[in-house]
Amino acid sequence: MKIALIGYGKMGKAIEKEAKHHSDTILVTIDSEADWNKKSGLLPQADVAIEFSMPSTAVKNIIRCFDAGVPVVVGTTGWEKDFEKIRRDCLNRGQTLFTASNFSIGMNIFFEINKQLASLMNRFEEFDVGIDETHHIHKLDAPSGTAKTLAGQIVNILDRKARWISGSDAATEHLDVVSHREGEVTGTHTVTYSSEMEEIKITHSAFNRAVFAKGALTAAHWVRDKKGVFTMSDLLLETQKRVK
């Protein structure tokens, strides 16, 4: 498979390294506007694009992939406010978009556990709930896209939480999402339910970026011949059906 790699930071380099194990070819790497000017002619030759850039450039990069008729797998987070517009554009133009706040298989299983736990805890109002996330100091968005996904799941299920907020708040109707940026931490997310007498914690920790690179490449292989808007839930659901 020929891949256009959009964004050549640490994640881009991890994907490049992982691609060698799949016998995939990195056809082109684009990491700046100057690269777009020099290399954009190669984009239509790619089977799929994998986009890990910055929140400020992600939307423009996605549209460029649509214009080139190339399926795009997006791992950049922090552009959620534009998602509906991009989703409609993708569907109206018959293009392909795969997005995920986290490409780790373990984290996507964690998402399902998070929903189940929130459902179980909905009637036990003595338990308050919060989310804590830690990433490396280079991460630009806070809370992380993964933490936002976890928070959104809980708020949608837990009747006593009206919305989530970034940071700590004494209001009991708010779900606090606390972010830390430390050293080179790849990513740790913890959901905690606490009462006066007991506590439940579920935690996911990623040890290195290879787990995200592997997931992004799995998504790229899965989506390359599809049309529409997809997430990791779609990929895992199809995989589960095949196993059955």
Q: What are 67-80's pLDDT values in tens digits? A: 999 999 999 988 98
Q: Which of 44-53, 113-122, 169-178 has the lowest mean pLDDT?
A: 169-178
Report pLDDT for 100. Answer: 94
| SS3 labels along the chain | CEEEEECCCHHHHHHHHHHHHHCCEEEEEECCHHHHHHHHHHHHHCCEEEECCCHHHHHHHHHHHHHHCCCEEECCCCCHHHHHHHHHHHHHHCCEEEECCCCCHHHHHHHHHHHHHHHHHCCCCCCEEEEEEEECCCCCCCCCHHHHHHHHHHHHHCCCCCEEEEECCCCCCEEEEEEEECCCCCEEEEEEEECCCCEEEEEEEECCCHHHHHHHHHHHHHHCCCCEEECHHHHHHHHHHHHC
Which tokens sit at 231? Answer: 């997430």
Strand partners, 26: 3
Asked if residue 117 has pLDDT above 60, the reply is yes
Q: How confident is the model at residue 101 (pLDDT cuts 50, 70, 90)?
A: confident
CB-based contacts of 65: which residues, under 8 Å, 6+ apart? 4, 6, 43, 49, 51, 71, 72, 95
Catalytic residue selected from 17, 139, 241, 244: 139
pLDDT at 171: 76
| First-last CA distance in the chain | 28
Domains of the chain and any CATH numbers: 2-99+210-243 (3.40.50.720), 105-206 (3.30.360.10)
Query: Is there a catalytic annotation at residue 189?
Result: no
Q: Over 70: is that where the pLDDT of 243 sits?
A: no
Of the pLDDT bands very low, low, confident and very high (cuts 50, 70, 90), residue 241 is low
pLDDT of residue 78: 86
Computed over every residue of the chain, the mean pLDDT equals: 93
Distance in angstroms (rounded) separating the CA atoms of residues 16 and 4: 10
Amino acid letter, residue 101: S
Q: Which two tokens stand for residue 242?
A: 């095949």
Is 135 catalytic? The answer is yes
Q: Which of 114, 179, 173, 172 is nearest to 143 (CA)?
A: 179
Distance from C-alpha of 184 to C-alpha of 66, rounded to nearest angstrom: 34
Q: Look at the pTM and tell me if it is higher than 0.85.
A: no
Q: How many CB atoms neighbour CB 158 within 10 A? A: 19
Mean local confidence (pLDDT), 185-206: 96
Which of the residues 135, 161, 189, 214 is marked catalytic?
135
